[in-house]
Structure 1
């Protein structure tokens, strides 16, 4: 297998090395990109790999589809590469189009067994709510939405919220590893342990964790984990993973709702293999995703996580210096429980914190940042910690990645000081 050109270890504090690494990516001149939480940037080397794989597919279609080890429809090689990256058994991994597909595969593939309640949060993503709404409408499943504190300060408090919501009819706990709106990094291991103790299924939306955090899914212990390849891992669009714990035995009886081999599950075919059997897949994109994961491994997953957190801590420091701690809705890096922090930082650019309830004004600020100053951040909205009774909280969400730098963060806040 080829070796990535930048496959080396990068010192955490060497800005020169990080500047050199950033050359692996290309952005439009003048653009300061602080929105990897929506879409990452495929490295230049990976663009070449994707192009070469597409050309091979076009020049020898049937050979690529049936026989090519990297491109064929079973995707065993790329599933193995991605499993290594996330700390999973290859037999437990399915390559998907995105997180949305993975969540739907699980929630809509579970057999209905009598009275059923599913716990989720009021701060989850629409990709979770959509299949849950179908279950509620078609099967009468009761959806319990718990409210999380903003900003959250304690892992144990979060676990206790879920513990209190459990009833004898609770069948599943579904939540995001990282809250997309305010950047709360959930205590996944503790919540999954709680679920397992009560014989409750755990499903995690890992859209923002893959590529941001040093993942080990075996250690985290979810029953199911869906993630996207196009965000923090900077893979091609239309790529993702679904982890199924103990796929060979399929303990939750998951049925393959998207498959050409559903009838063969249990007859020599595992649930993971059945969900992978979706006819003609985008083999070139999946191969490029796996190569991008190897690129990240070459830098060092823990090194990447530390760098991302260092930069997000800088965003928090700037926001607090300008507008006070109350302006920040993400967990604080200065808090006793720093494990709740991640690479997403959400804040309101004002000491008038009521600005967070003015969606129009916050969206206008985000639009001015990109249109006039080339600073791309996202305006997010989420129910407040009052159980959704009040108006939504709107915030500017900054994503800090390995191609970002402290001076870019400084530029963002200098502009916000003038326009907000």
Structure 2
């Protein structure tokens, strides 16, 4: 079923690119050429070398922080710029005419990308906006509980902090182990913390701190029979993992496409399962879920078209191929860094619990000093705090210091990038162990 929808989306995406004059036809040609080059590559190394040519990263710069922001391919940026110029030739007519009409096509592409139906998809700017839309549309009673973890991002938590303060509700945080040993360990922690007052469970699909992939399908089998709304922070998954929200069983899923999907900055998606939509009374959704509505207001149409082009780009490469590459590089990075005695792995190694993110804690020294060392050598990673939550709003929320660094690998990276980073680290951490 998803396969048929996927094939249809490829045709739709390229057809959409051809609707407008030169820019659309040129883009369709480039995507077809990319797909042909990938298919014809003699070796995997040759294939990924070809893909890396699509990116504009500075020569010598190693970007290992896609978990914060991805690198948008040149062909997408060029197209967005051309669509911006197209819009300004006749602003009103194009905003609500030839250009604006493509927003619904992007929404349909997004639905296929996440395994949803079009009427369950909303085009947003980021994960924060998506979760805030959910949280601001819910009604709770004093004493109700929102269950989450202490490994959530501030963007995924701020809506729940607002909701808790508004209704005098309680946020319950599970203290997550690092690394997690098994899915059963997670499920037991969740079951132990659910009470008769739990109304919402909010978890990341892929944790921003450790890269743990949460067992959402199993979690949904706990929450749905209890009529607990399961909301997912999906900032770190679409574009890295091949996501199917129906298979995951979540009620709502918010993501940031400017990370792993490599879309223009300020691109996001929100899925809301049809059966729970009546429970979410948000002003942003008051006029419906369409790309443009009275409650959404005027949209940045060229930017939203670029969002759809990022999905076309992933489809041209093959989403399963992208996921495999992200994982392959992450395993290689994990193996190389595990050889340093002063680094402690915080990410699970099991494939079903891991992702394209790996995090290491430092047994000695500070993550800030290692970050600065790498930055000075043209390598960008992420300093990992104990928690991202805005503790100033609710001071009792837990906070820990992992003294860690997070590494994210995507299709523009290579084994040589990782080898270069290991060389730099060896000068500070000492030689790695053999084997």
- Please, what TM-score do these two structures have when normalized by structure 2? 0.85
Counterpart residue number, 2:81:
51
Residue of structure 1 in register with 2:348 after alignment: 331
Alignment gaps of 5+ in structure 2: 1-14, 18-27, 389-395, 430-435
User: How many residues are treated as equivalent by the alignment?
Assistant: 392
Asked if the contact 1:256/1:271 (under 8 Å) is kept, the reply is no
CA change 1:257–1:406 in 2 (3 A) is same
Secondary structure of the equivalent of 1:75?
A: helix
Distance 1:13 1:219, change over 3 A: farther
Q: Secondary structure at the match of 1:133?
A: helix
Report the counterpart of residue 405 of structure 1 in structure 2: 414
CA distance, structure 2, for counterparts of residue 117 and residue 284 of structure 1: 41
Deviations 1:95-146 (A, max 9, x none): 0010010010001111235641110001111012212221222210111001
Contact 1:12 1:303 in 2 (8 A): no
2:189 partner SS: helix
Shift in Å, 1:231:
0.5
Matched, 1:258 2:284: yes
Conservation of the 8 A alpha-carbon contact between 1:381 and 1:392: yes
Q: Secondary structure at the match of 1:124?
A: coil
Runs of 4+ in structure 1 displaced over 3 angstroms? 8-13, 249-252, 270-277, 387-391
Q: Which residue of 2 aligns with 1:345?
A: 358
- 1:92–1:380 Cα change, 3 Å: same
Q: Give the drift of 1:58.
A: 1.3
Q: Give yes or no for contact 1:94–1:276 (8 Å, CA) kept in 2.
A: no
| 275 and 413 in structure 1: CA distance in 2 versus 1, 3 angstrom threshold | farther
**Equivalent residues in 2 for 1:1-400 (5 A)?**
1=15, 2=17, 3=28, 4=31, 5-8=33-36, 14-68=44-98, 70-72=99-101, 75-113=103-141, 115-246=143-274, 250-258=276-284, 262=286, 270=288, 277-323=295-341, 327-332=344-349, 337-348=350-361, 353=363, 355=364, 361-371=366-376, 373-382=377-386, 391-400=400-409
Return the offset for 1:327: 1.3
Does the aligned pair in 2 maintain the 1:255–1:271 contact within 8 Å? no
Structure 2 contact 153–387 (Cα < 8 Å) conserved: no
1:370, distance to aligned residue in structure 2 (A): 1.3
1:390 deviates by 8.1
Question: Do the aligned partners of residues 180 and 166 (structure 1) sit closer, same or farther apart at CA in structure 2, a change above 3 Å counting?
Answer: same
Query: Measured at CA, do residues 327 and 195 of structure 1 come closer, stay the same or move farther in structure 2, by a change above 3 Å?
Result: same
Equivalent position SS for 1:340: coil
- 1:41, CA displacement in angstroms? 0.9
CA distance in 1, matches of 2:212, 2:220: 17
Deviations 1:140-188 (A, max 9, x none): 0111001111001201111111111111111010011111111111111
Q: Is the 8 A contact 1:120 1:173 kept in 2?
A: yes
Secondary structure of the structure 2 residue equivalent to 1:280: coil
The Cα of 1:287 is off from its aligned counterpart by 0.7
- Shift in alpha-carbon separation, 1:82–1:251, aligned structure 2, 3 A: closer
Q: Secondary structure of 2:211's partner?
A: coil
Instruction: Give the RMSD, CA atoms, in angstroms.
Output: 2.3
